[in-house]
Amino acid sequence: MTLKLYVERMSQPSRAVLIFCQVNGIEFEEVSIRLAKGQHRTPEFIEINPMKQVPAIVDGRFKLFESHAIMKYLSRAFPGVADHWYPADVYKRAKIDSVLDWHHTHLRRGAGGYVLNTVLAPSLGLPLNPQAAAEALELLTASLDKIESFWLQPNGRFLLGSTQPSIADLSLVCEIMQLKILGKNGERILSPYKKIANWIDDTKEATAPHFHEVHSVLFKVKERLHHKQSAPDLHSKM
């Protein structure tokens, strides 16, 4: 039975899981769960993931959610996945676990909170919250500082000084990519970080052409938001 991925391409952890499967030649069926249409709250999806979040997978009779846990599982369960994605070496694996745990409470919270509270909230039926946006921006900037100064090391193109990408590179780069929908504001936030800019390019290159294809939805949303800003009297639907 084919692996099923329940994903929303506007969700950064969903994009990471999609790209991971494509790059590693894992066959899957993509089941689109549109958050803006409330498809994560249907009884059918709650059977898959009672937390009502994407991504989630079903592999035979096995159900799993949380993108980091999913990519770790796929790395172990599919023998074709190259070791560098989630190394068997106990020390390398521990460091990747550490980056991913750090990600939850720092970069993810900062980037996700900022994008949600500056542009995305209305499409999900939520109000924009400037105070929450300001707090998220502070955490986002502190997190980018740490990636630039600590997680990216002088040797190696990827996190932790690696020469090949891991699931941590994919997860963190997909998170940062959502800043692209902010247009000039996103560019301004990212502009001080030269190592991060190179690392994003290296991750794109290592996962081409899938990275670009999976992110194409982001660029469409960016254009639509930009169009709305230039012509505020026109209605557009997400």
Residues near its own copies (CB under 8 A): 50-51, 62, 64-70, 72-73, 76-77, 90-91, 93-95, 97-98, 100-102, 104-105, 108-109, 146, 149-150
Closest approach of its own copies to the CB of residue 103, in Å: 9
For residues 97 and 202, which CB has a smaller minimum distance to its own copies in the complex? 97
Closest approach of its own copies to the CB of residue 113, in Å: 11
Closest approach of its own copies to the CB of residue 108, in Å: 8
205 vs 94: CA distance, rounded Å: 26
Locate 206 and state its tokens.
């290592």
For residues 31 and 74, which CB has a smaller minimum distance to its own copies in the complex? 74
For residues 150 and 219, which CB has a smaller minimum distance to its own copies in the complex? 150
For residues 104 and 212, which CB has a smaller minimum distance to its own copies in the complex? 104
Closest approach of its own copies to the CB of residue 149, in Å: 8
